[in-house]
Amino acid sequence: MARVVAYIPDLLFGSRVQADLLADGHVVELACDSAAVSDALTGARVLIVDLTDEVPARVGFIESLSVAGSLAGIATLAFYSHIEVDVREMAGSAGFDLVVPRSRMAREGAELVKRLTVDVA
């Protein structure tokens, strides 16, 4: 399976995502800040980003990683609060491979990661 870095500062939800992905056979590293994400990207196949808070800063950070080439070969998955349609549009414009509501991430996280790893393989 895939090595996944999950930039999810909400530890409770991050633990839930991590458990679902581990159960599906993925190797998961939780990162709660941008420095930890940068340190963890080597060898990752998927980067998951929580866009339910500090959206401009997180989107800008991902854009800077992309420009620097740090995301080459890494699929990106973002999730957002379903009521913030503008966040979905911002993430899509920033180049995320897949952008889904938080509820879908909770229900289908492992399947979404599997889909992304097939798409970039």
d(CA 18, CA 23): 9
Residue type, 96: F
Q: Show the domains of the chain with their CATH numbers.
A: 3-120 (3.40.50.2300)
Residues β-bridged to residue 11? none
User: Whole-prediction pTM value?
Assistant: 0.92
Tens digits of pLDDT across the chain (121 residues): 899 999 999 999 999 999 999 999 999 999 989 999 999 999 999 999 999 888 888 888 888 888 888 899 999 999 998 888 888 888 888 889 999 999 999 999 999 999 999 855 4
Of 27, 31, 59, nearest in space to 44 by CA: 27
